[in-house]
Amino acid sequence: MPLDPQAQVLLDGLAALDSPVLASLSPPEARELFRGMAALTPVPETARTEERVIPVDGGELTAHVFWPLGGDASGAPDAPPVLVYFHGGGWIVGDLSTSDSSAAELCNLSGCVVVNVDYRLAPEHAFPGPLEDAYAAVRWVVDNGESLGADPTRLAVGGDSAGANLSTAVCLLARDRNGPDIRFQLLLYPPVDGRRSYPSFRENAEGYFLTAETMDWFWGHYLGDTDPEDPLASPLYASDLAGLPPALVVTAEFDPLRDEGEAYAERLRQAGVIAHASRYDGQVHGFAGMFNIFDAGRKAMDEAARALRAAL
């Protein structure tokens, strides 16, 4: 179908600004530009927000914890479930300021306590650094569920773009390292193919917000000398996906990552995992996080929240 009119307005506005492409900048410059773009979506009010520090090997991470307005929307009588959320930005850009809006929105809609994790970024911390940070954060949430007022036995992981990639790989680590037990994975337009080998990567290479050039730049900084088929970097190449948590995979029609996300959902189903792929026609990468300006973004957030409530 044609490009959604709301997406077209966004692309026209970005073109009028004539901003440099991320791939032409240094990582610090790209991070600053990305923060400015993310400011388009304000952070919804939640019942409570706190900053927590998560110790990890070689340092510490900052996390923002959100508690939902109106309590646990899942209807459970005790502590609410918990979602550990990882932001997008190609493992290179993005932080809590660019993802708090999505985390808070999912918190209110799903009734989950949401822990939004600021993992360390490449190239300063290339693969597997961000992944090990993400896994350590999930373990910390489980160990500190009582202090968070959440039920860590009802645990989900999720994220958008690079954060969705980390979520998939965290689920592989949790399975292979004997825990923690993750009940659900929420994957918003995940990059799961370091080879960039699917048709949509070429069909949507330019003109639709995320470009193939930028995605190549992201992968290059994240992987370094790592084999792009390493299954913890590119989960699509994992030989065995059995035993992973159920998943919702959201994709966008005009996204270079569309086909690989849908292929990953199919691989999960072939392995006996309950997985639903939901394509939003007419949309571009990142649309769900712009739920305040895209009707489709609002629908995607509602769908994600329903999936979380059903799973947890």
Backbone phi, psi, residue 61, to 5° = -115, 150
Neighbours of 145 (CB within 10 A): 18
CA-to-CA dists, residue 123 to 60, 97, 221, angstroms: 17, 20, 5
Tokens representing 149?
């007022």
Query: Is 285 among the residues known to form the active site?
Result: yes
CA–CA gap between residue 265 and residue 165 (Å, rounded): 13
| Residue of 124, 161, 155, 128 lying closest to 141 (CA atoms) | 155
Query: Is 255 among the residues known to form the active site?
Result: yes
Q: Residue 178's pLDDT is what?
A: 96
Q: Which position among 161, 167, 200, 234 bears the catalytic label? A: 161
Query: Is 281 among the residues known to form the active site?
Result: no
Q: Which position among 4, 72, 133, 255 bears the catalytic label? A: 255
Cα angle at 224 between 219 and 228, to 5 degrees? 60
Instruction: Judge whether 295 and 266 are in contact, CB under 8 Å.
Output: no
Q: Which amino acid is at 176?
A: D
Q: Residue 205's pLDDT is what?
A: 98
Q: Residue 74's pLDDT is what?
A: 52
Instruction: Judge whether 201 and 259 are in contact, CB under 8 Å.
Output: yes
State the fold for domain 5-311. Rossmann fold (3.40.50)
CA–CA gap between residue 105 and residue 170 (Å, rounded): 23
Tokens representing 186?
């929420």
| Residue of 119, 91, 117, 89 lying closest to 103 (CA atoms) | 117
CA–CA gap between residue 151 and residue 71 (Å, rounded): 13
Q: Residue 71's pLDDT is what?
A: 65
Return the H-helix or E-strand segment holding 282. strand 275-284
Is 0.95 surpassed by the pTM of this model?
yes
| Cis ω before 180 (30° cut-off from 0) | yes
Instruction: Judge whether 198 and 263 are in contact, CB under 8 Å.
Output: yes
Instruction: Judge whether 20 and 299 are in contact, CB under 8 Å.
Output: no
Tokens representing 289?
């996080």
Q: State the sign of the Cα–Cα–Cα–Cα dihedral 198, 303, 180, 162.
A: positive
Return the H-helix or E-strand segment holding 17. helix 5-17
pLDDT tens-digit profile, the chain (312 residues): 899 999 999 999 989 988 898 999 999 999 999 998 887 789 999 999 999 999 999 999 999 999 999 765 554 558 999 999 999 999 999 999 999 999 999 999 999 999 999 999 999 999 999 999 999 999 999 999 999 999 999 999 999 999 999 999 999 999 999 999 999 999 999 999 999 999 999 999 999 999 999 999 999 999 999 999 999 999 999 999 999 999 999 999 999 999 999 999 999 999 999 999 999 999 999 999 999 999 999 999 999 999 999 999
Tokens 């202090």 sit on residue: 147
Tokens representing 277?
């792929």
Domain parsing of the chain, residue ranges: 5-311
Polymer length in residues for the chain: 312
Instruction: Judge whether 81 and 155 are in contact, CB under 8 Å.
Output: yes
